[in-house]
């Protein structure tokens, strides 16, 4: 049992116009085994939260804390965060010239576990996970992100999730750019990883569509860089029907 606690988190970025505050006091607690959906309008700071947890250098923590079982995540390097059990897919958004998917995944697994996985068992796991995600074998020999379609990037992300077996995963807009068939396959992959690892999941999404396949235990609505409302799965149903207008109207009045 493991707990990720985010307390009164304030985060800014440097822009040409100066320091821009983006997160304005985020409070969130995720225990292993729980799925939390982070929803909210565009520009409300959802991706900023994901990048901050991942340790992206562009995002400056002004105050507040992120701890994993009491350990200070913000004091850790990106690699240390991965070793502590956080899944950081967004750490690798770029092409890695000359590095194949196979080598990338094995290197990542070795970094996370602190030792290289035995080769036969590893290849078996890799092939099994790729088959689960209906990925062609040839995908393993391609260079990371080179010419990947949107759907291939998402499958590669879930392939990492299945193989690295983190304690906590943050998935940002995993549903974007996927057709229904791909969304089902990717969601099954996430659910499988949840079932086998008992991980905690922060599922960031603008739309409710993915929540039909990955059931959240809690829903948090982000507005203006903080949690404006939270509830159970019924809150997602309400957002599906009403959209975010109610929250945006509140913002304008304030
Ligand atoms: P969301 O994921 O909810 O759409 P983001 O976290 O991407 O929101 O963005 C929140 C706000 O912060 C937006 O106004 C966005 O333009 C701004 N922002 C995010 N990242 C940067 C950045 N690197 N430089 C400048 N502004 C940024
Ligand atoms: Mg955005
Ligand atoms: Mg975003």
**Ranges of each domain in the chain:** 3-253
For 3-253, CATH number? 3.40.50.300
Candidates 13, 23, 170, 175: which one to mutate for ligand 1, based on the most atoms within 8 Å of Cβ?
13
Tokens of 104: 């990338």
Q: Choose among 209, 191, 213, 210: nearest CA to 201.
A: 191
Strand ranges inside the chain, DSSP E = 3-15, 18-31, 35-39, 59-68, 71-72, 86-87, 168-172, 200-204, 218-223, 226-231
The pTM (predicted TM-score) of the whole model is 0.92
Tell me the per-residue pLDDT of 179-215, one tens digit each, with 9 for 90 and over: 999 999 999 999 999 999 999 999 999 989 999 999 9
Residue closest via CA to ligand 1's atom 22 equals: 13
Ligand 3 center to residue 112 CA distance, Å? 26
Tell me the per-residue pLDDT of 32-60, one tens digit each, with 9 for 90 and over: 999 999 999 999 999 999 999 999 999 99
ipTM surpasses cut 0.90: yes
Strands 86-87 and 59-68: unpaired
């Amino acid at each position: 049992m493991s707990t990720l606690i985010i307390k009164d988190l304030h985060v800014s970025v440097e822009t040409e116009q100066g320091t821009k505050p983006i997160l304005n006091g985020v409070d969130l607690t995720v225990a292993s085994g729980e799925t939390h959906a982070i929803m909210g309008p565009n520009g409300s700071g959802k991706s900023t939260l994901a990048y901050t947890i991942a340790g992206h250098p562009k995002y400056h923590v002004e105050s507040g804390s992120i701890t994993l079982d009491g350990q200070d995540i913000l004091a850790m390097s990106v690699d240390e965060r991965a070793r502590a059990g956080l899944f950081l897919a967004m750490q690798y958004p770029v092409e890695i010239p000359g590095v194949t998917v196979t080598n990338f995944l094995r290197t990542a697994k070795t970094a996370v576990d602190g030792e290289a996985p035995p080769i036969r068992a590893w290849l078996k796991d890799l092939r099994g996970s790729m088959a689960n995600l209906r990925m062609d074998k040839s995908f393993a020999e391609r260079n990371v992100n080179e010419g990947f379609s949107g759907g291939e990037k998402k499958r590669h992300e879930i392939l990492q999730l299945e193989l690295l077996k983190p304690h906590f995963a943050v998935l940002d807009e995993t549903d974007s750019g996927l057709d229904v068939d791909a969304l089902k396959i990717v969601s099954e992959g996430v659910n499988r990883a949840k079932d086998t690892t008992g991980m905690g999941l922060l599922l960031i999404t603008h739309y409710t569509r993915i929540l039909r396949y990955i059931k959240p235990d809690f829903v948090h609505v982000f507005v203006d860089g903080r949690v404006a409302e939270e509830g159970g799965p019924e809150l997602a149903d309400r957002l599906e029907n009403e959209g975010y207008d109610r929250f945006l109207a509140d913002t304008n009045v304030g």
